[in-house]
Amino acid sequence: MYKAFLLKYGEIGVKGKNRHLFEDALVRDIERVLRRVEGDFKVSKESGRIFAVAGSDFDYDEAIGALSKVFGLVWICPVVQIEDKGFKDLSANVIEYIDKAYPDKNFTFKVDARRARKDYELNSMQINEELGHDLLERFPEMKVDVHDPDVLISVEVRNMINIYSKAIRGPGGMPTGTAGSAMLLLSGGIDSPVAGYMIAKRGVKISAVYFHAPPYTSERAKQKVVDLARIVSSYCGEIELNIIDFTEIQLEIYKQCPHDEMTIIMRRVMMRIAQELADESGCMGLITGESIGQVASQTMHGLYCTNAVCKMPVYRPLIAFDKQDIVSMAEKIGTYETSIQPFEDCCTIFVAKHPVTKPRLNVIEKHEKALEKVLDDMVAKAIENVEKVICDG
């Protein structure tokens, strides 16, 4: 019965003169996700709201699923659209709609009519009254409550007449790319995809980097990261994933540096590489899945030492999240199942049995001197040999 979706956005509404840019981006994102849904849709802007109108039959659940991934949308309202054939016809349609949409009629309601066309036969108040009357007559179990109704039945008289009463929550946030771009350090774990999702939700276009260490990590571990990037991209659009072969650097650190500091030093090198890749691709920041105290390298001391190599802002949206909360989010956005596939465990040899939890920057820097002669070349080589994979879910 639904022929269209009325799509409401939140924050964009306050964007002033730039508003059309945000709206256009949102329309593009909506078009992108609907392209994958069975059915033809036309997306248009219409006085402060966006409509997606189906030109054919379509899969309702699939369409809702796709739309609820569009950052910037706050409400998704399935709409019944009818032509104006007089009030009688409208009333019959509203009754039919309510009958189908609510099998149990035991609820309170209010009709909220609006006219964009002032030449309609009744004014808004009259539509409210007449429709309320007709509904009560047809479904005596229903009751009117104008202050706090269970169901708000909206009727909008435009060129077509829109009838809707249901609203499904969208993810909120801002349309993709409207806030610039950033480089996500993506591992195969649970946290980093969630971190990427959260920043992307604020309208940031995401690129990603993964550090691959064959033969210590397997091809399947790499595939898993590609799969994760793909899931995240199903929300925020195409992600360019940079795969860096990190083995040589890792082995060098292993040979030259104290083992309890390996993870910190490794992370510092990863940040350096990520930063260079970010610069190359016009990203304005890095994103990590770090969370205070989660592992030895993520104490305040650890974060201090890691952060010291960064010249651009590092966004850590999970910094104050408990693990269980991160897991819940990962489950919600659909990355958890993929994250827990056990493919990355063979690189554990590079994790010290007793890693330092309170590293000191001057000590780390001193120990890093052992790498001085070769590290620049190794980093340059790793970046030169980067493998780029476009992930588009």
Partner 1 sequence: MREIYLDNAATTKTEPEVVEIMNKVMLEDFGNPSSKHKKGVEAEKYVRNAAEIISGIMKTSAKEIVFTSGATESNNMAIFGTVQKRKRYGDHIITSAIEHASVREPFLELEKQGYRVTFVETDNNGVINMDALKAALDDKTILVSIMHVNNETGVIQPLEDIGSTVKSFNKDIIFHVDAVQSFGKLPVRPKKYQADLLSVSAHKFHGPKGAGFLYIKDGTGIEPFIYGGGQQNKMRSGTENTPGIAGLGKASEIAYSDETQMKIQHLSDIRTDFIKSLESIEGVRVNSTASDIFAPHVVSATFKGLRSEVLLHSLEEEGIYISSGSACSSNRPGLSFALSALGLNKTEVESTVRFSFSKYTTEDELKVCIEVLKEKVPFLRQFIRR
Q: Which residues bind partner 1 (CB under 8 A)?
A: 214-219, 251, 254-255, 259, 341-343, 345-346, 348-353
CA–CA distance, 55 with 91 (Å, rounded to integer): 24
Least separation in angstroms between CB 251 and partner 1: 6
Amino acid occupying residue 250: Q
Token pair for residue 78?
Answer: 């399935």
Least separation in angstroms between CB 246 and partner 1: 13
Least separation in angstroms between CB 12 and partner 1: 45
Cβ closer to partner 1: 224 or 268?
A: 224
Cβ closer to partner 1: 354 or 373?
A: 354
Beta bridge partners of 82: 161
Cβ closer to partner 1: 300 or 349?
A: 349
CA–CA distance, 362 with 305 (Å, rounded to integer): 9
Quote the DSSP letter at residue 351: S
Cβ closer to partner 1: 102 or 343?
A: 343
Least separation in angstroms between CB 341 and partner 1: 8
Neighbours of 41 (CB within 10 A): 22
Cβ closer to partner 1: 11 or 245?
A: 245
CA–CA distance, 45 with 51 (Å, rounded to integer): 6
Q: Are residues 29 and 70 in contact, defined by beta-carbon separation less than 8 angstroms?
A: yes
CA–CA distance, 329 with 66 (Å, rounded to integer): 18
CA–CA distance, 61 with 118 (Å, rounded to integer): 35
CB hemisphere CA count around 321 (13 angstroms): 21
Q: Tell me whether residue 196 is exposed, middle or buried, using C-beta atoms within 10 angstroms of its C-beta: 0 to 12, 13 to 18, 19 or more.
A: buried
Cβ closer to partner 1: 217 or 288?
A: 217
H/E stretch holding 181 reads: strand 181-185
Least separation in angstroms between CB 386 and partner 1: 19
Cβ closer to partner 1: 150 or 245?
A: 245
Least separation in angstroms between CB 259 and partner 1: 5
Least separation in angstroms between CB 297 and partner 1: 16
Q: Are residues 116 and 51 in contact, defined by beta-carbon separation less than 8 angstroms?
A: no
Least separation in angstroms between CB 369 and partner 1: 21
Cβ closer to partner 1: 259 or 272?
A: 259
Q: Tell me whether residue 364 is exposed, middle or buried, using C-beta atoms within 10 angstroms of its C-beta: 0 to 12, 13 to 18, 19 or more.
A: buried
- Chain position carrying tokens 């033809």: 40
